[in-house]
Structure 1
């Protein structure tokens, strides 16, 4: 028996893997006539310092938030214009925190997504050993179906 997905979550981070995940999520959402949630999680640890090594203050974090909010709104409009997805069937979300935890423990239970699509990791072997990839964590711990896009 085939699943009929109602609410698809795709996590994006600007990597080539997340670009592949977004393309796959658009196809699945269109085919299933499902709602598409696009989630970007800004890791607070990576925002602690700017490119000069100086600690970020609240004003700089706010600027980062605004840039990412604008990016997500532009992405939504692009999907509406170019992929002809209905505006009411796309939601964009920006959260702060550890992407692994936010995706699996916070967002998915709150929005009741029945499919999560993540991109293959961009980390090298050593990075995966030390911190693990978001994709592998989501695959292991999610309470719904997960699709890994390559």
Structure 2
């Protein structure tokens, strides 16, 4: 088994950060690169934005800048490794963008956190991790959030 490229999708939540140590450990063991990906969901047009003299473009640019800053901070704090780490931000539907990115970069493994949704929350929101497991062409390692003590 060759693992040279690991995809680490994150929604910047503490639940997704649980996957960082697994990605780091595997990258170090196999000498793999890590691609850290955050997907910004498309924003629906909002009337209030126009009243504040903001455009969708300005809001999206601000969101992307904030996400990049958060992502860089999270990576710096949680992914200290000698292996090559690259940060990417995409826009679109989360599961579709993760799959598309994995295919484009020919990743060997996806390591991602889960939120452990159940009941009505799962019914309404579904599971991104579950969609990735079903659609990905490579193996997917899902990591449950660490319990807070």
Report the TM-score range of the alignment, normalised by the length of the smaller protein. Answer: 0.7 to 0.9
Q: How much does 1:49 deviate?
A: 6.8
1:17 and 2:11 matched: no
Q: The residue matched to 1:14 in structure 2 has which SS?
A: coil
Give the aligned partner of residue 144 of structure 1. 138
Structure 1 stretches of 5 or more lacking a match? none
Q: How much does 1:40 deviate?
A: 0.2
Q: How much does 1:129 deviate?
A: 1.7
TM-score normalized by the length of structure 1: 0.81
Deviations, residues 69-114 of structure 1 (Å, cap 9, x unaligned): 222333444467xx2324xx1110000011111111x101100001
Give the aligned partner of residue 96 of structure 1. 91
Structure 1's consecutive aligned runs of 4 or more residues displaced over 6 angstroms after TM superposition are: none
User: Pick from 76, 95, 115: which aligns with 2:109?
Assistant: 115
1:84 and 2:78 matched: no
The total of aligned residue pairs comes to: 139
Superposed CA RMSD: 2.2
Give the aligned partner of residue 59 of structure 1. 58
Q: The residue matched to 1:13 in structure 2 has which SS?
A: coil
Structure 2 stretches of 5 or more lacking a match? 50-54, 145-149
